[in-house]
Structure 1
Amino acid sequence: MENAKALAQKMAQTNLPILITGESGTGKELFAQAIHNSSPRREEPFIAVNCATIPDSLLESELFGYEEGAFTGAKKGGKLGLFEYAHRGTLLLDEIECMSLSLQVKLLRAIQEKEIMRLGSHKVIPIDVRLIAISNIDLEEMIQEKTFRKDLFYRLSTLPLSIPPLCERKGDIPLLIHAIQRTLGSSFTLTDEAMEVFLNHPYPGNVRELYNYLEYLSCLGEGSIITYSALPVLLKKSWEQHRSDSSSYVTMDSAPQTTAFFRAAGIHAEEFLFLLGQLAEASKVMRGMGRGSLKASAQEAGVVLSDNEIRTALHCLSQLGLVKIGRGRRATRISASGLSLYRQLCPSSQPPA
């Protein structure tokens, strides 16, 4: 996070487009706002729009504006677009991956030419806007799937900034707890056992999820001592599952990599092991598997896994050095460490040597 902050500080001093990536709840929009506040444009507008919340037919008119009579229901006198409102300032496009291919073309032109045209008009309007895009999806994979334009990706990612998930920075959790408590104006104290639960939770919802738990605890009263029994139900379920998994796989419980595996997987340990098992089978014929193949295998086996859950799981496994993620449909392969871990956790499956 210190590296990400230092990089963001340097990026703030330029006018180049920035692409911020990271899992949902990691604080990407907070970084975008901080970049604007630290930039020479800090006194000018900061306009944010979520591309996923506006229908594509309306998003175009919101971004570029329109002239009177441009379409049925157009406001009399027309309307300025967000590019114009953000003139000399910063325009944030959140969940950029939800933008249609046709609108991506118009956005690319606006970035390249630094000018726009309102709907229903032929008048060119020059713009001076710093663009920041946010995505929690791997846009390079979308390019492979032809759902995101390669040329737009390279324009947006002139300055790429990746925000690490909370599961990769567990040491930040005590600091975040104290900071969030100050924000909430609460002063409860966690017992050692309760803190251990917080430290071992996988946080699929990242900092946003942590914030929600602390909001819940702040309602229990000022100066309270928070014990295990007072924790939110989801946290206790995660902890019980963590202890159950740890006791089920005692053969490797003392190994650092196994401990890291169960901390990262949390309540999803079985799903993580299923994915490792599929990749172990694929390695028998010297190949990898893409997310689509893994999802199909999961459905066939009765394991419920969404695309996003598979993506998150593979990312965690990659960070642990258990799989190697490349590009293409058969890009993800199990590593030697992954095979070794899977062999010891699931000896009955007889993975390949």
Structure 2
Amino acid sequence: MRAGAARGYAGHFHEAGFYGCDAEFLRLTVPFVEEGLAAGEAVIIGYDDRKSDLLRSRLADPSAVEFITDRGLYATPARAIATYRQLFEFYIAMGVEQIRIAGDVPHPGNGRQFEGWDRYESAVNCVWQDFPVWGRCLYDVTTVSPAVLDVVERTHPHLLTSPECRCTSERFEEPAEFAPLPPPPDPLEAGAPLVELVDRSPAEARRALIEIGRGRVGDKTLNELVHGVSEAAGNAVYHGEPPVTVRIWATSNRIVASVHDCGPGPADPLAGLVPATRDALLPGWGLWFIHQLDIDTTLIRSGDGFTVRMRAEAPATESSVMRG
């Protein structure tokens, strides 16, 4: 039996709330956690070290909560979806009747970019419907931008007005209707690319990227980027419309690569966030595979076609060693 506001609800009960100070954050989070634990439910917390330590200091038994402070949890939207899904499957197998989660997705207010996370907040309304999950997403109104707040209202069916009161979001959009934020261009894209390949093979794109990228971002990162560009180029050839254009920009420690075709792109609003099929041998896994890599990937739809943009940067210590 599910407890709390999600009692009698099937699937993912997804709500958002807002706070302006630590005291408000605790008022919205501590009862949510304590009530879940008292009901024998699993509780997963995905905040940074500071907020997690703040919660630990106020909880009766913090050891009963699964804290995930590893920034890798929110490395990419697709990986966060997959990681949480594995946790849900584990707890369901253990006989847990409801899982409560609370976390902080990346956005400029917490020092990271929001690109792609608007799609994540929309997608979890359907991709987690197989699980009895109660997700509470809290946003700090002192740091979050109006654009992010707009997305929150459009991606959460329920909005908290106080710790115990909620309302239906009148602006909520179903995932199939959700319009993600237009991704801003990368500054490097304003200049001429170092390489532009039109209707060339994925193998030629790989060779060009390896030649340009060597010594800029580190071997592991470059290898991830090469895999991503190769997969995106192959997808564009087989599923897109010609011409297929691969462009590569680079600085001493950054690489931006885009694969563009003149087709409309995948119709599925979840493309890249979850596998398109259950069988990895069937078509439809390419974009999801790219989103599992340790690179920044953005899907861009425009009037002239569909683009997969991939970006990689050397860590500060690594780039300084390479330049030295």
Q: TM-score, normalised by structure 2?
A: 0.30
Which of 1 and 2 has higher RCO (CA within 8 Å, sep 6+)?
2
Larger Rg: 1
Normalized per residue, the structure richer in strand is: 2
Higher helix share: 1
When the two structures are superposed, what TM-score results if normalisation uses the length of structure 1?
0.28
